[in-house]
Amino acid sequence: MLVELTVEELETLASALVRLKFEDGVPPEPYFGSPRLAVAHRRIVDSIILESARIGDLGRAERWKSWQRWSSRAHEKDVVVRYASSLSIWDEWTEGQRLDVLRSCSAPFALSEDELEELRNEIESVRRSDHPEDFSRHV
């Protein structure tokens, strides 16, 4: 199935999805950590960037690339840290599963491997400080 949307419609959709996920500071279930939503949201933003570049609107493409950078997302980072550090299942996941969850939760923003690792470390630190008795055997 092919659905055609204008760049402006895609921008509206991308912005609305970010508000849905992050605006209230309370992650909406089940969408917040949804891998399907994460993929769709990234594809929307990537489509905006690609189409903007294709039509020669390089300024728009660059603005969206800049918008997508995780380093400028303090509020969203705080939401992800609070959410992930509260997950009781966190300790049952492998490192790979934890990183996959963080990629989904942070979508559509682009994290480098270093930023992803830093995010995971921050969550681990919060979890240890919130529940020191649970983690004393791991220290």
Which pairs count as long-range contacts for 89-95, CB under 8 Å and 24+ apart, including other chains?
90/123, 90/127, 91/134, 95/120
- The torsion angles phi and psi of 6, rounded to 5 degrees, stand at -75, 165
Does pLDDT of 105 surpass 80? Answer: yes
Q: Which domain holds residue 107?
A: 7-132
User: How confident is the model at residue 30, as a pLDDT?
Assistant: 86
pTM of the model: 0.86
Report how far residue 40's alpha carbon sits from residue 16's, in angstroms, rounded to the nearest whole number. Answer: 13
Flag whether 66 is in a domain.
Answer: yes
Average pLDDT over residues 61-71: 96
Flag whether 1 is in a domain.
Answer: no
Label residue 81 by pLDDT band (50, 70, 90). Answer: very high
Segment 36-55, tens digit of pLDDT: 999 999 999 999 999 999 99
Report how far residue 3's alpha carbon sits from residue 73's, in angstroms, rounded to the nearest whole number. Answer: 30
Residue corresponding to tokens 């092919």: 2
Flag whether 138 is in a domain.
Answer: no
User: How confident is the model at residue 44, as a pLDDT?
Assistant: 97
Flag whether 50 is in a domain.
Answer: yes
Flag whether 139 is in a domain.
Answer: no
User: How confident is the model at residue 75, as a pLDDT?
Assistant: 94
Domain count for the chain, please give it: 1
Q: In which region does residue 111 sit, left (phi positive, over 0), alpha (psi from -120 to 50) or beta (all else)?
A: beta
Label residue 70 by pLDDT band (50, 70, 90). Answer: very high
Flag whether 57 is in a domain.
Answer: yes
Label residue 1 by pLDDT band (50, 70, 90). Answer: confident
DSSP3 helix / strand / coil % (the chain, rounded to 5): 75, 0, 25
Flag whether 59 is in a domain.
Answer: yes
136 burial via Cβ count (<10 Å: 0-12, 13-18, 19+): exposed
Average pLDDT over residues 60-77: 95
